[in-house]
Chains A and B, each alone.
Chain A
């Protein structure tokens, strides 16, 4: 990559029509993200007729900005009304919403906007300078490696359930069990669907999230406080959030790494990036008990990972033509419509368009931040609305979203069922996080275990033969034993007191 290409790309993006496309795409993306049920994939599909007649470069800038910024829109609803705009924002709810309850909604919004800026920029730097190399790395991951990655991710549950181990493990087991519902990719059978077609794709994730968080929360709100913010006034603002963000540099770096890693591997669900980064941040934190009760670090971890994940997702999409997620698949389709065929050759054949897309995505992160600091910061007042207004609003908007994803009424029923489950769990002192991790990772564990054994002809050596496998096994052991090693070392060196 020569400097000329970059300079040319910057010049192209700075033309007025491209800047307009960038701003328009960013705004449109944020709105799509805020609307429940409309994720980036639906948003891009809806915009295709609009951009069809544009210059390919301009159209891709619009679509890229849309794709990039919808995450941020999703974080707004996650923080303010406990409803994830998209599955990837699930972990943002965990601390973002409790912050609102403590009257610190403005701070949380500042954190999420800064995360979009920082996570997005770190992700973009990696995409821009290392895409072909990272794509090669992703290809090294076969079924055995994916299986071990999922096990490593599951080991984080141990950190999440600290303090309520039995209840946590019950929830995790329930999540894993629920992940087996639906079409079994390996055997080709339907499992636990009770001849009910809406379950054949498995438990739909966003619909379940809407139930577990939004519906449950609406039930809780209906019986308690007068508004979401329990102290009925807001303290701290957007700028405090920006400053708070930079007090957590270690989490920022760890979360970016987790997000990128999840994003780069096409076989790992994008929705797990935020959850894994959140669990990881809780594990290494000195105050793990604050997580889930409005710890700013939780929002930092989740949102930074989610925003770093998106450029990671584009690595294999652009460099190999292999999309890592539904959103990436739509983006790939859009690129092809404009005659840009992603794959290893795209960097040489279409360098100008690709690098202007990269430059535009850099700027899109900044645009998101500007929207956050100018407009979105005022949204925190939503949390002061009285409950008799906000509860019906949350219910209607979230259930509408759950319907809109597949245009099926049954999905509303699924959401309501998960709402009831979430309510019971909450009242009995269970946390939904292990359940979510189990639900998100279950299929990855199961199918890749089977695939690895199908390839090896039944020999288990496939799980430790490659170098990456050995590293993953080591990391899993460290993740499980690590918390005990520190105190053990202390006892050894300082002696018992």
Chain B
């Protein structure tokens, strides 16, 4: 018994002594950044775009590991138990993890993770085919109220789906025949081929076909207009109030990561996101850059829970 107590005391003392020192010479070895999707998509590309600039400030190497299994669920569950030493970080499209939590049993909690920094944001957009009779959002709304339209989604239970449900309620539309696709490329292609009445997707996925005049954007689900799409209206211009589900791309540390380490990382990611080289890439990708620090990111996580819980029953259906 005494032995155990002594050991405990020794371990506790050792932790106390090493902790601050640990923070001081952090980082002293390469950092692993987990991407919760396969190589290629937006999540992966943004991670790979910002990593070299972060390396410059942390003066250590960042290795990216893709763990795309089960929409990121496998990665999140592993991450919940990862050592909180700042050498394992995760990047994903927030609030995807909270939606996964609401869909079934999970071995992780997003609110346990330690937020660090988010660098970009994207909003959902409502698009119709350029040959559709609806030239403006009010014309579309009138048609949608008259009879159920078919609307493309990038996945049931996705952020797009969630935004769609919130919009139905706020706009007082009874019913839409939602047509889910795995990802936006399917729903955008089906809209371009006039197989659907409208599609909701992240704005960035639709930009090439909007610019080419094949698709017509009607409404951006955001508080303010997007500088990349200055002609697209937002709900408040028509007098509608609704919650938005903006998606953030940022980085988090495992649960209970010490504040000193988070500070070092937050500074490095913030500085990296202001680097000209990164801004150039962001411009080409039509990313909307933001500066969401650790505290603000944590607030966004807290806010997302009730927002998503409200639609939980429908999401599960």
Contact = CB atoms under 8 A, between A and B. Distances in A.
Interface of A: 41-42, 44-46, 48-49, 52, 138-143, 183, 185-188, 190, 195, 197-198, 200-201, 266-267, 316, 320-324, 326-327, 329-330, 333, 336-339, 341-345, 406-408, 451, 454-455, 457
A45 B39 CA distance: 6
Interface in B162-199: 177-182, 185-186, 188-190, 192-196
Contacts of A454: 150, 177-179
Contacts of A408: 67, 69, 74
A127 to B, nearest CB: 18
Contact of A188 (B70, B103, B211): B103
Nearest 7 interchain pairs by C-beta: A343-B208, A142-B195, A321-B208, A188-B156, A200-B70, A45-B39, A330-B40
B317 interface: yes
Given A186-B180, A266-B186, A343-B208, A143 B195 contact: yes
Contact of A266 (B71, B77, B185): B185
Contacts of B40: 41, 44-45, 326-327, 329-330, 333
A406 B67 contact: yes
Given A186-B180, A201-B70, A337 B49 contact: yes
Nearest to B277: A52
Nearest to A266: B189
A197 B315 contact: no
B209 A343 contact: yes
A464 B71 CA distance: 35
Interface in B21-72: 38-42, 44-45, 48-49, 52, 65-71
A321 B201 CA distance: 14
B52 A49 contact: yes
A52 B44 CA distance: 15
Contacts of A140: 193
B132 to A, nearest CB: 15
Given A49-B48, A186-B156, A190-B104, A320 B189 contact: yes
Interface-central residue, B49, B74, B103, B208, by most chain A CB under 10 Å? B208
A341 B208 contact: yes
Contacts of A142: 190, 193, 195
A188 B315 contact: yes
Interface string B202-232: 0000011101111000000000000000000
A406 B68 contact: yes
B148 interface: yes
Nearest to A346: B208
B211 A345 contact: yes
A195 B105 contact: yes
B73 interface: yes
Contacts of A407: 65-67
A197 B195 contact: no
B80 to A, nearest CB: 12
A424 B214 CA distance: 52
A139 B192 contact: yes
Nearest to B103: A188
B40 to A, nearest CB: 4
A254 to B, nearest CB: 26
B310 interface: no
A330 B66 CA distance: 13
B285 interface: yes
Nearest to B107: A197
A42 B39 contact: yes
A185 B156 contact: yes
A313 to B, nearest CB: 12
A67 B104 CA distance: 38
Given A316-B189, A336-B285, A201 B39 contact: no
Interface-central residue, A138, A141, A336, by most chain B CB under 10 Å? A336
Contacts of A342: 208
B281 interface: yes
A197 B196 CA distance: 33
Given A143-B190, A330-B39, A200 B208 contact: no
B250 interface: no
A323 B182 contact: no
A323 B69 contact: no
A183 B72 CA distance: 13
B304 to A, nearest CB: 19
Contacts of A333: 40-42, 44-45
B212 A267 contact: no
B107 to A, nearest CB: 8
Contacts of A321: 207-209
Contacts of B71: 183, 200-201
B189 A457 contact: no
Nearest to A198: B69
Contact of B69 (A188, A197, A337): A197
A4 to B, nearest CB: 24
Interface string B303-317: 000000000000111
B185 A406 contact: no
Contact of B179 (A45, A201, A455): A455
16 contacts: A41-B39, A45-B48, A185-B181, A186-B180, A188-B316, A197-B74, A197-B77, A201-B69, A266-B189, A333-B41, A333-B45, A343-B208, A406-B74, A408-B74, A451-B181, A457-B148
Given A139-B192, A336-B284, 11 more contacts: A44-B40, A48-B48, A183-B70, A188-B316, A197-B77, A200-B70, A267-B189, A329-B41, A333-B41, A406-B67, A451-B190
A188 B209 CA distance: 28
B208 A188 contact: no
B157 interface: yes
Contacts of A339: 284
B178 A455 contact: no
Interface in B68-88: 68-71, 73-74, 77
A139 B211 CA distance: 17
A408 B105 CA distance: 20
A401 to B, nearest CB: 15
B293 interface: no
B212 A343 contact: yes
A44 B182 CA distance: 23
Contact of A320 (B69, B192, B284): B192
Nearest to B157: A188
Contacts of A326: 38, 40
Contacts of B284: 336-339, 341
Contacts of B317: 188
B155 interface: yes
A140 B195 CA distance: 8
B155 A185 contact: yes
A337 B208 contact: no
Nearest to B191: A139
B73 A341 contact: no
A200 B180 contact: no
Contacts of B69: 197-198, 200-201, 406, 408
